Structures are given as structure tokens and as C-alpha cells.
């Protein structure tokens, strides 16, 4: 998918502790249980968040109950930084997780914290790129390609070897603009072609990188 930073992730590139400290300086920390809501859709956006432990999912529900998942956020990721007055997507704890938070007004007031400013700008950049990629994927890619794309992205986040999927098939489907059945079919198809291998439903390994990459293009 993106891979703007081939090997060195921007999160690990600079000492994680520096940013952590910057956050601690200005805000608090809170734990959320699996499936707990961190903020609601259309809620006023007064805080800024950073994942410490666990995985967070953003999603939007239409009036008639259709759901679109915005993205998944891993430790080190900032989220909830839409510059608008309120959150268009809700955020929920996908797994039990711990989150740091900063009051937005604090960010503006203590504008001296260059570390924090830089991180927010960088996160905004990343957020926009993800959104743009998402648009292209949903607008112009087949189910097979979308699923391949998703697995690629997941693999890039984690170290090589076994990749853990913290989200359900429903979450994947709602992210990809598909149904769970289609996602499932594509997964078994890719597995049938030995491109990926699923020892269990929430865990996989890429067997043919080039083949998967070609699909995800």
C-alpha cells in the first residue's frame, strides 16, 4: 500500500519515549476495555489520542445502519486528529487498550512543544495518505485486490513471520466495503493459491510476497 518509509517506521525511527514524555507532560492516560467507546461519532473533538497498548478502530454508522470502518490504529499511532470541530468517525477499543490523551487547547496553548507539533503534523500527513489510499481502493479495486491490499498493510505493520489480526471478519469487511462472506471467500482463495497461509483464523503468514504485492498494486 503506502510504504513511504520502506523499512524504518516513523514511530520507531525516533525514540518512542520522547514523544511519550511529551504527551505525559500535557495530558493524561486512560484504559479502555475491548469494544468500549473512546469517543462517539459527531462528538465534539476536544482531545487528541495516542495508542500506547492495544488496537483502536474508527468507524462511522449511516442512519440506516450501514457501517464504514475508517482505520485501525496501533501502538504509537495518533488518532482523533480531524481538524474539524467534531469527530465524523467514532473510535472504539478493538482490543483492551491503553491510550494517552491531550487536550487540544493545550496543544495550541503550549505551542512551544516542537516535539508534539511535529508528531501531530506527521500524523495528519499519514492520516491523509491513508484516506487517499482508501478512496482509491474502494473506488477502483476488486474484492480480491482489496483483501490482498489489506493483508499487505497488516503485514507491513508487524515484524515478518506470523501476522496477528486483531479484528474480526466483520471489521475487515466494513473497512474494505465488502461483506464478511466475500472477505472469507477471498481469503480462502488466496490461501488456495498458496499466496498466504492461515494456521488459524486470526493469524496468517505471507507465502508469495511478489504475488500478493502484484495484487495489492
The one segment of 9-17, 18-26, 96-104, 128-136 that binds a copy of itself by CB under 8 A: 128-136
Q: Is 1 in the site for DNA (CB under 7 A)?
A: no
Q: Is 37 in the site for DNA (CB under 7 A)?
A: no
> Residue 122 burial by CB count (10 A; 0-12/13-18/19+): exposed, middle or buried?
middle
In the 3-class helix/strand/coil scheme, how is the chain assigned residue by residue? CCCCCCCCCHHHHCCHHHHHHHHHHHEEEEEECCCCEEECCCCECCEEEEEEECCEEEEEECCCCCEEEEEEECCCCEECCCCCCECCCEEEECCCEEEEEEEHHHHHHCCCCHHHHHHHHHHHHHHHHHHHHHHHHHHHCCHHHHHHHHHHHHHHHCCCCCEECCCCHHHHHHHHCCCHHHHHHHHHHHHHCCCEEEEECCEEEECCHHHHHHHHC
Q: Is 92 in the site for a copy of itself (CB under 8 A)?
A: no
List 181, 193, 194, 217, residue binding DNA (CB under 7 A): 181
What does residue 52 show for φ and ψ, rounded to 5 degrees? -100, -45
Q: Which does 62 bind (CB under 5 to 8 A by kind): DNA, a copy of itself, none?
A: a copy of itself
CA separation for the pair 144, 27 (Å, rounded)? 42
Question: Binding pattern to DNA, positions 107-146, x when CB under 7 A?
Answer: -----------------------------------xxx--
Q: Is 95 in the site for DNA (CB under 7 A)?
A: no
List 136, 158, 202, 209, residue binding DNA (CB under 7 A): 202
Q: How far is the CB of 148 from a copy of itself (least distance, A)?
A: 14
Question: Binding pattern to a copy of itself, positions 35-74, x when CB under 8 A?
Answer: -------------------------x-xxx-xxx-x----
Q: Is 217 in the site for a copy of itself (CB under 8 A)?
A: yes
Give 34 or 125: the residue with its C-beta nearer to a copy of itself: 125
Q: Which does 215 bind (CB under 5 to 8 A by kind): a copy of itself, DNA, none?
A: none
Half-sphere exposure of 178 (CA within 13 A, CB side): 22
List 136, 181, 194, 203, residue binding a copy of itself (CB under 8 A): 136
Judged by the rule CB under 8 A, the positions of this chain that interact with a copy of itself are: 4, 60, 62-64, 66-68, 70, 82-84, 88-89, 121, 124-125, 127-129, 131-136, 138-140, 174, 176-177, 217
Amino acid at each position: 500500500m503506502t510504504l513511504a518509509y520502506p523499512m524504518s517506521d516513523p514511530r520507531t525511527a525516533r525514540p518512542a519515549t520522547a514523544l511519550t514524555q511529551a504527551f505525559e507532560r500535557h495530558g493524561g492516560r486512560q484504559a479502555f476495555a475491548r469494544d468500549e467507546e473512546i469517543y462517539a461519532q459527531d462528538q465534539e473533538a476536544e482531545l487528541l489520542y495516542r495508542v500506547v497498548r492495544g488496537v483502536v478502530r474508527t468507524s462511522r454508522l449511516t442512519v440506516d445502519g450501514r457501517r464504514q470502518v475508517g482505520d485501525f490504529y496501533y501502538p504509537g499511532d495518533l488518532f482523533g486528529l480531524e481538524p474539524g470541530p467534531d469527530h465524523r468517525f467514532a473510535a472504539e477499543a478493538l482490543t483492551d487498550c491503553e491510550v494517552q490523551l491531550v487536550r487540544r487547547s493545550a496543544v495550541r496553548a503550549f505551542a512551544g512543544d516542537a516535539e508534539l507539533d511535529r508528531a501531530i503534523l506527521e500524523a495528519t500527513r499519514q492520516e491523509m495518505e491513508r484516506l487517499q489510499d482508501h478512496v482509491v481502493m474502494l473506488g477502483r479495486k476488486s474484492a480480491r485486490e482489496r483483501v490482498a491490499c489489506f493483508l499487505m498493510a497488516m503485514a507491513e505493520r508487524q515484524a515478518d513471520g506470523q501476522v496477528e489480526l486483531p479484528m474480526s471478519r466483520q471489521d475487515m469487511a466494513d473497512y474494505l466495503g465488502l461483506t464478511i462472506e466475500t472477505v472469507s471467500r477471498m481469503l480462502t482463495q488466496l490461501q488456495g493459491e498458496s499466496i498466504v497461509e492461515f494456521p488459524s483464523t486470526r493469524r496468517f503468514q505471507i507465502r508469495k510476497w511478489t504475488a500478493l504485492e502484484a495484487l495489492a498494486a
